[in-house]
């Protein structure tokens, strides 16, 4: 009987020892689990592609930028093809212009009988065009040609709508008996500014005092629109 009790007591003691040992091992595993958990991310951690985490958003933005600075298209320069008024009209050409004389020759100086003759330029095309500068004006006679000098006026850009007109003025000094050399003008050749093609009109006036060598002749041409 004593042997049975001893055996039973020994078995109970062994079981208790095993139970205490198991409980102790479980507690140790929990502690080691807390100590070995991964540390929180720091600023030195790297993001995808090797960029530091603190610059990850910036790197993402830089890689996917579609701002106007990189995708915008230039729209400048369309005004470069237009006139000063921004109409986009091209230059007037001789072939698209009609030529005639204006009404009435008026005296500009009673002391020397200087007169003016308006030359009308009409846009015959269906589109607007621009014209600026002095025309070339040559008086013709049976014996020669006289290229007129320009006035001191400043040319301005003129935009001619389809069917509209502008003028320039020929100022001339008529020839009078005994006043000097007579130039018997029969026609006038007009070349619009920046053009090489001319138009010839019959000269409506009489003889002109020839001053082709004068520094300040009494016969000259003004700018278109002036």
pLDDT digits 0-9 by tens, 90-112: 999 999 999 999 965 443 333 45
Query: Which of 128, 226, 138 is CA-nearest to residue 190?
Result: 138
Give me the phi and psi of 167, to 5 degrees please: -135, 165
The answer, as to whether pTM is greater than 0.85, is no
What pLDDT sits at residue 88?
78
Sign of the CA dihedral with 138 first, then 118, 185, and 98 last = positive
What pLDDT sits at residue 112?
57
Q: Which long-range contacts (CB under 8 A, 24 or more apart) does 3-6 make?
A: none
Name the band, by pLDDT with cuts 50, 70 and 90, for residue 42.
very low
Kindly state the average pLDDT of the residues 187-201. Answer: 98
Rounded distance, CA 212 to CA 217, Å?
7
Mean pLDDT of the chain: 72
What pLDDT sits at residue 71?
29
Kindly state the average pLDDT of the residues 35-47. Answer: 38
Gap between the terminal Cα atoms of the chain: 146
What pLDDT sits at residue 87?
55
Helix (H) or strand (E) holding 109: strand 107-109
More confident residue, 29 or 163: 163
């Amino acid at each position: 009987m004593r042997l049975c009790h001893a055996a039973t007591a020994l078995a109970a003691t062994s079981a208790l020892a095993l139970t205490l040992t198991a409980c102790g091992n479980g507690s140790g595993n929990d502690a080691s689990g807390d100590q070995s958990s991964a540390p929180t991310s720091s600023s030195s951690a790297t993001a995808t592609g090797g960029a530091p985490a603190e610059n990850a958003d910036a790197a993402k933005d830089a890689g996917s930028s579609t701002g106007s600075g990189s995708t915008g298209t230039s729209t400048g320069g369309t005004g470069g093809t237009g006139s000063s008024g921004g109409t986009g009209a091209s230059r007037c050409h001789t072939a698209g212009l009609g030529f005639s004389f204006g009404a009435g020759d008026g005296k500009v100086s009673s002391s020397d009988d200087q007169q003016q003759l308006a030359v009308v330029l009409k846009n015959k095309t269906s589109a607007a065009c621009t014209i600026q500068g002095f025309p070339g004006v040559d008086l013709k006679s049976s014996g020669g040609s006289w290229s007129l000098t320009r006035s001191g006026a400043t040319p301005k850009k003129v935009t001619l709508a389809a069917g509209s007109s502008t003028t320039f003025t020929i100022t001339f000094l008529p020839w009078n008996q005994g006043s000097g050399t007579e130039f018997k003008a029969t026609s006038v050749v007009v070349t619009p500014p920046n053009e090489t093609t001319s138009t010839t009109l019959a000269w409506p006036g009489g003889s002109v005092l020839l001053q082709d060598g004068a520094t300040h002749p009494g016969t000259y041409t003004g700018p278109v629109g002036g």
